[in-house]
């Protein structure tokens, strides 16, 4: 049985009219950015950015989703590097495991900041899905179709370049810097990812290589000493290379195709800073549109939120010493 899988991709539509008048390099960056060089920050954030899918069988289309409503990330940031660990706590939500099955989520992400370059690398995996609208027989053991052997793996990298030295991307991502004067920047990026969907119950596997080139603009408005607002938009275009593998009686049947993609990614957020505590929230709209093909059919639109809180404190001496050594050896 061959099932077509629609990946409901992530993207954003936002069209603000954004302008900034600072002449780059005309004002020392320390008047725009407070660098928390000797501060180590720890942050926890919660978001509902949960990937879902659509499948088609015998002409009937049905949704496939994990049995989680939100996920949590714990992150540590210091100077030019950061680490994030994501998981899905089953707290404050009624998870009906008997009818919907069990979902496990794991994510690891690291960021490197080298001058104006930002490099992100991440890995995530999700195991266990269910369908809320698949027509199950009356004598079926559960109310929903449980896909406990469906696994999704994702390997992803993003390379970005910040044009304006007066704009701090760390001020809205790692909070190891604070934007002291309003500024914006053009920030192009290249996103590359490998996605693998494996269904152990039907011996099917879908592999997707994805490349997206985006032209983004970000702007931070400093409201006062402790409050700021952030806005951004990044339209882009890319290509998917897809391969589906089906095992039948020991034989492998494969099919390949490619998609051209059009993407929009953006955000609107509000944040708070003190010397130690910081926090805030972001609202995002994301969309990715792909040409319809015989293997993967995409046309998705999604919104989600993120809230976070964190604390800064003095970095231990051994960490400062190691960071100084690395920065001295960097050829940048």
> What is the CATH number for 303?
2.40.128
pLDDT of res. 115: 84
Q: How do residues 136-195 score in pLDDT, each as one tens digit?
A: 766 676 778 888 888 889 999 999 999 999 999 999 988 888 999 999 999 999 999 998
In a domain, 137, yes or no: yes
308's CB contacts (< 8 A; 6+ apart) are 43, 44, 45, 46, 279, 280, 281
What is the reported pLDDT for 293?
Answer: 54
* Predicted pLDDT of residue 232: 95
- For residue 22, tell me if it sits in a domain: no
What is the reported pLDDT for 56? 66
In a domain, 25, yes or no: no
Q: Count of domains in the chain?
A: 1
- The pLDDT, as a whole number, for residue 150 is 86
Rounded Cα distance, 222 and 167, in Å = 11
Mean pLDDT of the chain: 79
Residue 21 inside a domain? The answer is: no
Among 7-11, 118-122, 166-170, 244-248, the least confident range: 7-11
Kindly tell me if the per-residue pLDDT of 1 is higher than 50: no
Q: In the structure, what pLDDT confidence band is assigned to residue 88 with cuts at 50, 70 and 90? A: confident
Asked if 8 and 260 touch (Cβ cutoff 8 Å), the reply is: no
Does the residue 80 lie in any domain? yes
Residue-level pLDDT at 49:
77
96 lies in a domain?
Answer: yes
Percent of the chain exceeding pLDDT 70 equals 80
The terminus-to-terminus CA distance of the chain in angstroms comes to 54
Tell me the percentage of the chain whose pLDDT exceeds 90. Answer: 30
Residue 90: pLDDT over 90: no
Comparison of pLDDT for 24 and 118, the residue scoring more: 118
Range with the poorest average pLDDT among 62-71, 86-95, 202-211, 216-225: 86-95
- 58 pLDDT band, cuts 50/70/90, is low
- Look up the domain containing 150 and give its range: 4-16+32-329
Query: What is the average per-residue pLDDT within 230-243?
Result: 92
Whether pLDDT at 7 is above 70: no
pLDDT at 264: 92
Task: Please give the sequence-ordered ranges of beta strands (E in DSSP) within the chain, or none if there are none.
Answer: 4-7, 33-35, 39-47, 53-57, 60-66, 71-78, 81-87, 104-114, 117-131, 145-161, 177-179, 183-199, 204-222, 227-248, 251-273, 277-290, 299-314
CB 187 within 8 Å of CB 169: yes
Mean predicted confidence (pLDDT) in 14-38: 52
Q: Which residues pair with 54 in a beta bridge?
A: 6, 63
267-318 residue pLDDT tens:
999 999 988 899 999 999 888 887 655 554 555 777 888 999 999 988 777 7
Quick one: tokens of 167? 């704009």
> Does residue 23 sit within a domain?
no
- Residue 288 pLDDT: 82
The better pLDDT of the pair 217, 100 is held by 217
């Amino acid at each position: 049985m061959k099932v077509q899988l629609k990946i409901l991709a992530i993207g954003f539509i936002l069209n603000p009219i954004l302008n900034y008048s600072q002449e780059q390099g005309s004002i020392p960056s320390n008047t725009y950015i407070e660098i928390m060089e000797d501060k180590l920050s720890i942050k926890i954030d919660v978001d509902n950015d949960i990937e879902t899918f659509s499948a088609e069988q015998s002409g009937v289309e049905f949704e496939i989703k994990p049995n989680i409503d939100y996920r949590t990330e714990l992150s540590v940031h210091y100077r030019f590097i950061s680490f994030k660990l994501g998981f899905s706590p089953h707290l404050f939500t009624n998870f009906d495991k008997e009818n919907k099955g069990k979902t496990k989520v794991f994510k690891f992400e690291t960021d490197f900041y080298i001058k104006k370059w930002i490099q992100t690398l991440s890995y995530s995996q999700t195991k266990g899905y269910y369908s809320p609208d698949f027509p199950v027989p009356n004598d079926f053991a559960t109310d929903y179709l449980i896909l406990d052997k469906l696994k999704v793996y994702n390997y992803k990298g993003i390379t970005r370049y910040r044009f304006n030295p007066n704009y701090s991307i760390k001020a809205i991502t790692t909070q190891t810097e604070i934007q002291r004067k309003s500024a914006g920047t053009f920030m192009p990026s290249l996103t590359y990812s490998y996605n693998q969907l494996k269904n152990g119950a039907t011996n099917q596997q879908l592999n997707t290589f994805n490349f997206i080139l985006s032209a983004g603009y970000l702007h931070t408005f400093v409201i006062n000493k402790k409050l700021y607002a952030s806005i951004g938009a990044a339209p882009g275009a890319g290509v998917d290379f897809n391969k589906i593998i089906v095992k039948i009686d020991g034989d492998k049947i494969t099919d390949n195709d490619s998609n051209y993609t059009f993407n929009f990614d953006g955000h609107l957020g509000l944040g708070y800073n003190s010397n130690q505590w910081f926090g805030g929230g972001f609202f995002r709209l994301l969309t990715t549109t792909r040409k319809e093909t015989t293997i993967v059919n995409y046309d998705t639109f999604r919104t989600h939120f993120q809230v976070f809180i964190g604390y800064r404190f003095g970095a231990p001496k051994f960490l400062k010493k190691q960071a100084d050594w690395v920065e001295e050896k960097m050829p940048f």
